Structure 1
Amino acid sequence: MQTKSEARSPVPETRGIGNTIRLTGWIAFWIQLGLAVVSGLALLFALTGRSFAEQPNTGLGVGIFWAACGVVVLLFSVYWDFRYTRIGKSLENANPALHPSKADTTNIIRLGIIAGLVGILLTLLGAGSTVLVLVAKSISQPPGVAITDPYRIIRALDVFVAVANINGIAAHFGGTIASLWLLERVHQH
């Protein structure tokens, strides 16, 4: 016979996986949120600096576009990490009727993996196009001669686009690793 405390407490395995999902969700949430803020600020600096520049660099527009797309997907991933915390909390609930099924949990985690991979792709496209523009600018500069063409100068604002993309890649990578680890934990459970 079960005592009242045993009947009220959730199954230890469910509580364990719930705690793992909740804790991993919070860690991924804060890491991705921090990197999203850095990416967003770098992108904001690049965008506002472009509007004040005398000669805007049209080549970096593609990198800015992909970085902005990556930040949008990153904000979705941050929300999804918060959703992991809610799933973990519901798995820790004493009422088994409120627990999400293993299939539902797996599908939610898989969507997080897909969002992370799409975000990595978008920010890689942005980083690649930005680096190509920066390399083209640096190669076009003659050594030892003063640069008279302002389109050939690598400005700090140009580098902010690369910073936004690289932070986006790091954030999406961290979120994808967290989701893959959670998927493995759920499958072992």
Structure 2
Amino acid sequence: MQTQSETRAIAPEIQSIANTIRITGWIAFWIQLGLAVVSGLTLLFAATGRGFAEQPIAGLGVGIFWAGCGILVLLFSVYWDFRYTRIGKRLGNINPALHPSKADTVKVIRWGIIAALIGMLLNLLGAGSTIGVLVAKSISQPPGVAITDPYKIIRALDVFVAVANINGIAAHFVGTISSLWLFERVNQH
């Protein structure tokens, strides 16, 4: 026989916000995880290719460093997205004792926003330094087809560092947008 507390349903607005948090968490989780894998593999290829290249990649070490830092923060953001799904599940539970408070939920979402913004900043620093190196290499080449210094040629490995940073920026942008949207939705209730 069911007790009165077991038959009691969750308020529709709480169920709605629980579903929103859970679904948004899953969507952001998978998008950011996919972009993290692409960014990580691209960076790994660029970093390992440096050892096989006959010439050093001058100046791209800074871009690789910032991209690596951005990917580490991105992995934290992916974990945080998964945490959103758990918060949504707890909020959708019939037992109100298991519901996280609104203040705790807002605090978790704020940390998600902060992590995404920090990650975006790190990848912007990496992209900026990488693009700076690529521009310097491109303007140092003489016009025409004769290349006098092979160290000034823009190679595919140079571009891979920029690609890793741009993918990191895109992933952190997804995290920022999803966290800001959740922040707005939670504050409306």
Common fold, TM-score beyond 0.5?
yes
- Aligned partner of 2:146 in structure 1 is 146
- Aligned partner of 2:94 in structure 1 is 94
CA displacement, residues 149-176 of structure 1 (integer Å, 9 cap, x when unaligned): 1110000010000000000000000110
Identity of aligned residues (%): 81
CA displacement, residues 82-125 of structure 1 (integer Å, 9 cap, x when unaligned): 00000000000000000000000000000000000000100000
- Aligned partner of 1:24 in structure 2 is 24
Distance 1:25 1:72 in 2: 19
Letter in 2 for 1:65: F
Residues 6, 94 of structure 2: 8 Å contact kept: no
Deviates more, 1:22-31 or 1:12-21: 12-21
CA displacement, residues 8-44 of structure 1 (integer Å, 9 cap, x when unaligned): 3222221111000000000000010010011001101
Letter in 1 for 2:87: I
- Aligned partner of 1:34 in structure 2 is 34
Partner SS, residue 58 of structure 1: coil
**How far did 1:6 drift?**
7.5
- Aligned partner of 1:116 in structure 2 is 116
**How far did 1:48 drift?**
0.9
What is the root-mean-square deviation in Å for CA atoms of aligned residues?
Answer: 1.3
Query: 4+ residue runs of structure 1 moved beyond 6 angstroms?
Result: none
Distance 1:167 1:39 in 2: 6
Query: Structure 2: which 5+ residue stretches go unaligned?
Result: none
Query: Structure 1: which 5+ residue stretches go unaligned?
Result: none
The two structures have a TM-score, normalised by structure 1, of 0.96
Distance 1:146 1:45 in 2: 29
The two structures have a TM-score, normalised by structure 2, of 0.96
